[in-house]
Structure 1
Amino acid sequence: MTDRSNQYMQAERGDPLVVPEWYSSRRLQDRYPVPHAEKAFVASEDFVVPPPPAPGSDLLQEHFAIKKTADDIWLLASEPPGKVWPALKRYWESIGGSVAEVDTAEGRMQVTLPMNSLKASEFVGKMQLQSYISNERLQMQVRVQQGLKRLSSEVRVTVQGMPLAGPTPQQESLLTDMRQYMSDQGESLGSYSLVAQNIGGESRVSLVEDADQPYLRVDLNYDRAWFALGQALNDSRIPVIDINRSEGVYFVRFVEKEHEKNTSWWSGWFGGEEEEKLSDRFNFRVLLSPADDGVHISSEPTSAGVGRQEQLILLNKILDNMS
């Protein structure tokens, strides 16, 4: 039987259909429109489709987790912003705070803890925030953002008057207390805020299959993207042989059928004989490049026998584990 699956690729474009001007344009619209795909590529005949993402790859390994870099700290939740928003309001109200929805479109809320409230006063003492009290109250800015994953959120807290030089122990204590509260809530997180429904959106990381080079497009600043990539490689159990932070390169060894046997992120440093050349131990350079639309992450083979197929599989592994 003739295989006709690729015949459309050789089909010739016909002349546009000409109809009278008075004819209804609504009747001429495509019944099943095909969305336009920018920078799409046409695979060769020997191309093998990469395996689909693992079931639940949109979900985080931990339902709630504290993430921290040198200059940032946040609570990562495996729930969309529309669910996290009302849970946060209940949290602040449970400790005697009042919440003003400053800008729901941007996911910002103003929280005030009055010192004439016993619960609020005890909470401020527990979090060691007394030095930031002004006019008998403590004020904080809370921001809820879409996480990297489609069904995830990021929560950040800024205490009014606190220096912005980097994460503080008080911020970590606040986020840890939030995490515990939300973990204890369980099924009550099922409520959804229509007011905050526009905070969420599409995933902030996506695979772009460019005709020249496939890459991941990440809607993050460079430092955060570097951190997220390192975490993704670690969670993917892909050995990192070396790094070059100044050039934005991770040197990794990735063999699809073997990488899951490796359990250590830095196992490449200690494998093989001492005289073995470093370049013989890695077969990919994973590069970060600043771009107008965020940061691009690409994979560059460095050894023979590794091609586009392996590039795409490696990028999909990283994509599945970005958080």
Structure 2
Amino acid sequence: MMNLMQLLRQYGAMTLVIGVTTLGVVACKSVTTNDTVDYKSSGAVRGPNLAYPPDLITAQADRRYIVQDGTATMSEYNAAVKKSVDTRKNVMTGIPGMRIARDGERRWLVVEKPAPELYPQIKDFWQENGFLLVIDSPSTGIMETDWSENRAKISQDFIRSIVGSALDSIYDTGERDKYKTRLEVSKPGETEIYITQRGAIEKCTSDSTGNCISTIWTARPNDPELEAIFLARLMERLGMTQEQAKAQVAVPLGPKTPKAKLIQDGPNTAHIEMAAGFDRAWRDTGLALDRSNFTVEDRNRTNGVYYVRYVNPKDLGDTKGFFSNLFSSKDDSSLKAKKYLVVVKSTGDSSSTVYVQDADGRPENTAAGLQLLTLLTEQLTR
């Protein structure tokens, strides 16, 4: 039988009162289930602050996109940003050559437009979909939403229909999502757009009798379908019809092919071997970082370097759970992210190596470095 805490989470205190007085009616099953995605209403009911602590929010205003031919100067970039801001409209009229690219089980969007022109449109897109941005860095092409709740997962049951929207805030799915967007310039005039999702779920901690005595936030698996939904929505936002966007995203992905292996050279020394050329290894490593607990501050594709921050949950020194700290509104000084360099190096036409360095560019031959590579390998082989 569901205990009181679980009932309160599902129906809320007021709904429980109604349920007691109308017990015969309450037995009715849910009449509808809304399986769409809707984060727009979550801002008013979110409750605790779900943003990263300030030490993880770093908008690098003095950096720029990496363009492979090296012809873009800072003045040209700033002029392009100013032009895109001055001339942008609510919705683009359409972009020739916009398409979904695939590699195995991964999707991303390719747009034949310069990244500085696209960035403001993509920023508007996330805000229009009900998100706040905790990382907003047009100079690096990186943005990240706060933790938000998909309110469409809440069943429209009989009781909720009676109570109406006045008490909507007492309902909670017990799940949160956040999305990272990264713009990569693979060649002049063409931009790759990557959207990755991370999820958290609130789980009960039970006593010896099985009663839920408290809850803890834990990670839940990445959901590629949510990423696909927002890729399709972004294509619509950039001018493609809904039917065209859905058709492109609906094309089946290729087979999953493990192409990464962790090689341990010593007690705390290791590297990742990838059966892929540099372009593919660079892309897959970026996606693995986005889907893990790494914050990509910047990257240099020419040198094969991702500049990242990472918080080791073991450094928190408590049992509240990693996500509980992220969701906390207080400034927890113990939650400090360390800087690392994740280096991707080509070793042949179809082989590459990934290794970790400290913030000064020295080999990270420590337990922390081995842990980072282990986490990356897990993501690369999923």
The verdict on a shared fold, with TM-score over 0.5 as the criterion, is no
TM-score by length of 1: 0.32
Q: Which has the higher helix share?
A: 2
TM-score by length of 2: 0.28
- Higher-Rg member (1/2): 1
